[in-house]
């Protein structure tokens, strides 16, 4: 029963647009009433009616070691007593920057901000200021936050709500935003040729998580790197999802590809609102106050966000075996679901890498937004409610990756596979 959630949703709609503060939470894609959460611990969420759910969202990625991870909670308690904000620099910001630089490849300087959207927006502005060019190339179905230029043919929530032309985004912004299909190198080369000397940056999710989990095809990222080198284009990795989730060095390390700028969020805040962008000194020194590309934020480097993220990242750096454990659990879950789907003869594709995974009801490979959108999404929506009714909380959209956390036990995974197997899948 989620009676209290229903009451809360009715109440929320009287004061909050759509009753939620981020659109996918409204369950509009999958139908039904959104579940209002009250608390969480480890691998479990507890709703307003005290129903328990095995969690496969992990707050959309950051709770990589589980909810209410005690070292993080204790660090927040301690630092909150000093003040929740200073509006002035702290030593903790330096320690956080040094820790990230020690873990991430190709990182000379890093600037803290307050969200992944802000990080991506700032990285693109920096690329434009550095190159003196205006146009960017992004990929259909990639989601880089809700800044204007990123909402042109974006994935995730925009795809979930079937909004491909967003009111409020000007024609000028749209004209400077060039889109290519994900995993299509030739399309990128053609855009670069048609806009010779005008492209400031190529921004990409190196492993897509906003149209399901979609891996880069062999040679795709390497090809983009070559194009950027030849045309003096800034190559930006949006690692808001993948950073410190796929490995201690993120997707750059996992896939052995160097980016010029990288954006972060989610894991680096351990659930607190935080983002960051960084990269080569040659580019980063154009940010104010070193250079003329302006970026600022009152709460950037907030001490509570910094200590939460610092505590989590230090644990991940000191215990890299966590990533092997997460990958093993993700494989176990994927293999269990696959065995059942094979036995039923249901068309499917399961994509996964590290602790990211997604299930698509399709008889074709899921390699880009077009192929993801041609999967049987109504069937996924039915799966979502079946899992929810049986105590398993999946992302409420077929266009979202699932995120595992290391608090999940194999008993939790077995329960999840059991519930999955009890679904009709047809």
Q: Which of 53, 56, 130, 143 is catalytic?
A: 143
Pairing of strands 109-113, 275-279: antiparallel
Render 310-371 in DSSP notation, one character per residue: HHHHHHHHH-THHHHHHHHHHHHHHHHHHHHHHHHT---EEEEETTEEEEE--SS---SHHH
Total residue count of the chain as it appears in this document: 426
| Cβ count within 10 A of residue 252 | 23
> Half-sphere exposure of 127 toward its Cβ, with a 13 Å CA cutoff?
31
Q: Which of 238, 260, 368, 412 is catalytic?
A: 238
Q: How far is CA 306 from CA 14, 40, 87, 89, 298, in A?
A: 35, 21, 13, 12, 14
Render 80-146 in DSSP notation, one character per residue: HTT-S--SS--HHHHHHHHHHHHHSTT-SEEEEES-HHHHHHHHHHHHHHHHT--EEEEETT----S
| Cβ count within 10 A of residue 309 | 30
| Cβ count within 10 A of residue 4 | 16
Closest CA to 165 of 157, 153, 155: 153
Verify whether residue 143 is a known catalytic residue: yes
Verify whether residue 266 is a known catalytic residue: yes
Can you tell me the distance from the alpha carbon of 237 to that of 260, in angstroms, rounded to the nearest whole number?
Answer: 8
Can you tell me the distance from the alpha carbon of 327 to that of 140, in angstroms, rounded to the nearest whole number?
Answer: 27
Verify whether residue 238 is a known catalytic residue: yes
Indicate the SS3 state at residue 237. strand
Q: Which of 266, 329, 348, 393 is catalytic?
A: 266
Take residue 409 and report the two structure tokens written for it.
């036990």
**What residues are labeled active site?**
143, 238, 266
């Amino acid at each position: 029963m989620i009676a209290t959630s229903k009451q809360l949703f009715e109440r929320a709609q009287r004061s909050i647009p759509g009753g939620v503060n981020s659109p996918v939470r409204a369950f509009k894609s999958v139908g039904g009433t959104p579940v209002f959460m009250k608390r969480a611990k480890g691998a479990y969420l507890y709703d307003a009616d005290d129903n328990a759910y095995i969690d496969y969202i992990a707050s959309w990625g950051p709770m990589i070691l589980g909810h209410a991870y005690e070292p993080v909670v204790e660090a927040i308690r301690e630092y909150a007593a000093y003040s929740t904000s200073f509006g002035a620099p702290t030593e903790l910001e330096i320690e956080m920057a040094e820790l990230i630089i020690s873990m991430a490849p190709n990182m000379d300087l890093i600037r803290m901000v307050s969200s992944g959207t802000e990080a991506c927006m700032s990285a693109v502005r920096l690329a434009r200021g550095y190159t003196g060019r205006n146009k960017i190339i992004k990929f259909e179905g990639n989601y880089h936050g809700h800044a204007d230029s990123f909402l042109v043919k974006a994935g995730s929530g925009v795809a979930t709500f079937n909004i491909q032309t967003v009111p409020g985004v000007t024609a000028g912004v749209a004209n400077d935003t060039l889109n290519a299909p994900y995993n299509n190198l030739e399309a990128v080369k053609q855009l670069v040729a048609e806009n010779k000397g005008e492209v400031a940056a190529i921004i990409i999710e190196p492993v897509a998580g906003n149209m399901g989990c979609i891996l880069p095809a062999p040679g795709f990222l390497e090809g983009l790197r070559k194009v950027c080198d030849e045309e003096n284009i800034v190559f930006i990795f949006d690692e808001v999802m993948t950073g410190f989730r796929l490995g201690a060095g993120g997707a750059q390390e996992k896939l052995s590809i160097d980016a010029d700028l990288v954006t972060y969020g989610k894991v680096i805040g351990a659930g607190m609102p935080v983002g960051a962008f960084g990269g080569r000194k040659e580019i980063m020194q154009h940010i104010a106050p070193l250079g003329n590309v302006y970026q600022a934020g009152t709460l950037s480097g907030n001490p509570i966000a910094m200590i939460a993220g610092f505590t989590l990242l230090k644990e991940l750096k000191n215990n890299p075996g966590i990533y092997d454990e997460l990958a093993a659990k993700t494989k176990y879950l994927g293999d269990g679901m696959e065995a059942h789907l094979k036995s039923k003869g249901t068309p499917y594709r399961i994509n996964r890498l590290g602790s990211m995974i997604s299930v698509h009801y399709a008889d074709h490979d899921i390699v880009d937004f077009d192929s993801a959108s041609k999967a049987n999404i109504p069937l996924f929506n039915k799966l979502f409610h079946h899992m929810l009714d049986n105590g398993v909380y999946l992302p409420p959209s077929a266009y979202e990756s699932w995120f595992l956390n290391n608090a999940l036990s194999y008993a939790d995974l077995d329960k999840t596979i059991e519930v999955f197997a009890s679904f009709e899948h047809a």
